[in-house]
Structure 1
Amino acid sequence: MSLPSRSHFADLLSLAHDLADSSRSVILPQFRKQMAVANKAGAAAFDPVTKADRGAERAITRMIRAREPDHGIVGEEFGRHNEDAPYQWIIDPIDGTRSFITGTPMWGTLIGLLHDGDPVLGLMDQPFTGERFWADRAAAYARTSLGKPRKIRTRACGRLSDALMMTTSPDLFERGVEADGFARVKREARMTRYGGDCYAYCLLAHGLVDLVVESGLKSYDIVALIPIVERAGGRVTTWDGGSATSGGRIVASGDPVLHERVLKLLNK
């Protein structure tokens, strides 16, 4: 992977922070308020979206087009723009809308950047708690609303029997290969917690949990999180060990040794 120069990266990261600030001003006034919830999935399922999702993505898109008009954009709510550009911003304005509409603060705004298909920059903003996680060229950082940025690292955990695992919901695993693979890992892990969405990956980068196993993700669910986890010392791949940038079945681990052991178990 070839990263932008230091000065160019600094400009891109500054833009990512500005995008998060802009989306935060749209989202936060709507949190824990009564609002209409639309269903993007139709009668067959439930995929909620609110005016906060759509308003935040509009705010992010406007700023990118104003400051980097040659860049592409892939957003959950409004699709693709300038999709042949070398730089592509991958946006999920509210990752965890189900948590958002129930007043649970396990959601966040995801702002990722691909360069020639590689994830070079990632940021997750949680407006309600005032937390922000991001990756620079060589490390990952966390900041609270009152504190200074501090470097974060994953923790060593080579044995699955010692691992704390998170996933958004067991309902996301399809019967058969996915559900069976997840069940094998869950039986051997020390503890499993649900409901994390993007927050789980940031807790992993922070060294508070060891493993995240999920399925059915889209690119906008994971691209921003890859640099945060990997520059904190972890790994993010698909279940077969491939690139996670297109989403799908995802496993993220804080310890590379643990990662290899979980891949074998998922594919047993």
Structure 2
Amino acid sequence: MTDFSDDLELALRLADAADAQSLPRFDAADLKISTKVDRTHVTDADLATERAIRALLADERPGDGIFGEEFGVEGSTHRQWIIDPIDGTANFMRGVPLWGTMIALAIDGVPQVGVVSMPALGRRWWAATGSGAWTTTDASPRRVTTSAVASLDEAAVSFQSITQWADAGHLPTLLRVADRVWRDRAYGDVYAYMLLAEGRLEMVAEFDVKEYDIAAAVPIVREAGGTFTSFDGADTISDRSSLATNGILHEAFLALAHPLTTN
């Protein structure tokens, strides 16, 4: 098995550099906000954070490629760092602390290293293939694992947003899932995946996601014991959808979401 310890150490330092840019701008009175071509928002903090990550990568991994939300793709796609400088920009610009930087290293499209840093919460999660999933607050790092819940009746899920599911044509599916499980909430963005990795949820699913929206969460969820696929069950981060579960219930959620194709 490939040793990704050096890459993980770098990813954690990239997160430090990102936090140094993003956190001082959080809830700032002079935060600069503009609208991109796709009508989503971007702040000066998004741009500065991605620039800081790219600068460090240029110094330490000049042969690696980068795929970032704000400045696109450059270099190799064999070893590619996939970056979302601020996942949850809408929260960031409204002063809601549920946002974070997502940093992943993918080898031939498969995320092998992932770091999620949410400095407004004082939280960070990380994983590398074969090394487990970890988190820390002010104390020592502790390993995280997905839950042992084995029944849909006892499962808690995060659906991200009603509009997202409706736009994807899956609102009836969402209602079917909500009716079947114990509890449904829209925690939103990357935080929901981290709650899943910590065993506090059993399913997270969303649509219209790019690689940088989910890549860093993939190794964290998988190393915590969970399963991460597209909404249709494919092992890819390029399908514009996601289904992450505690692993035990993955097939049950797929069957619930796609009853006509799985029966």
- On whether the aligned pair clears a TM of 0.5, the verdict is yes
For residue 97 of structure 2, the aligned residue among 94, 105, 113 is 105
Name the amino acid aligned to 2:184: T
For residue 139 of structure 2, the aligned residue among 130, 135, 147 is 147
Deviation at 1:115, TM superposition (A): 0.8
Q: Equivalents in 1 of 2:243, 2:77: separation in Å?
A: 28
Counterpart in 2 of 1:245? 237
Identical positions, percent: 39
RMSD over aligned Cα atoms? 1.5
**1:110-189 map, 5 Å:** 110-136=102-128, 137-144=130-137, 146-175=138-167, 177-189=169-181
For residue 264 of structure 1, the aligned residue among 243, 252, 255 is 255
Deviations along 1:147-176, one digit per CA (max 9) or x if unpaired, are 111101001112112111113211112447
Contact 1:221 1:247 in 2 (8 A): no
Q: Equivalents in 1 of 2:214, 2:13: separation in Å?
A: 20
Q: Equivalents in 1 of 2:256, 2:77: separation in Å?
A: 38
Q: Equivalents in 1 of 2:257, 2:20: separation in Å?
A: 41
Partner of 1:26: helix, strand, or coil? helix
Which deviates more, 14-23 or 158-167?
A: 158-167
Contact 2:17 2:52 in 1 (8 A): yes
For residue 205 of structure 1, the aligned residue among 197, 209, 216 is 197
CA separation of 1:247 and 1:224: change in aligned 2, threshold 3 A = farther
Name the amino acid aligned to 2:223: R
Task: State the TM-score, normalizing by the size of structure 2.
Answer: 0.93
Gaps of 5+ in 2: none
Counterpart in 2 of 1:54? 47
Partner of 1:257: helix, strand, or coil? coil
Which deviates more, 205-214 or 166-175?
A: 166-175
Deviation at 1:41, TM superposition (A): 4.2
Task: State the TM-score, normalizing by the size of structure 1.
Answer: 0.92
CA separation of 1:183 and 1:41: change in aligned 2, threshold 3 A = farther
Q: Equivalents in 1 of 2:72, 2:167: separation in Å?
A: 29
Counterpart in 2 of 1:30? 25
Contact 1:223 1:244 in 2 (8 A): no
1:190 aligns with 2:182: yes
For residue 73 of structure 2, the aligned residue among 69, 74, 80 is 80
Deviations along 1:203-242, one digit per CA (max 9) or x if unpaired, are 1101111111211111001111000001000001112110
Partner of 2:158: helix, strand, or coil? strand
Gaps of 5+ in 1: none
How many matched pairs? 257
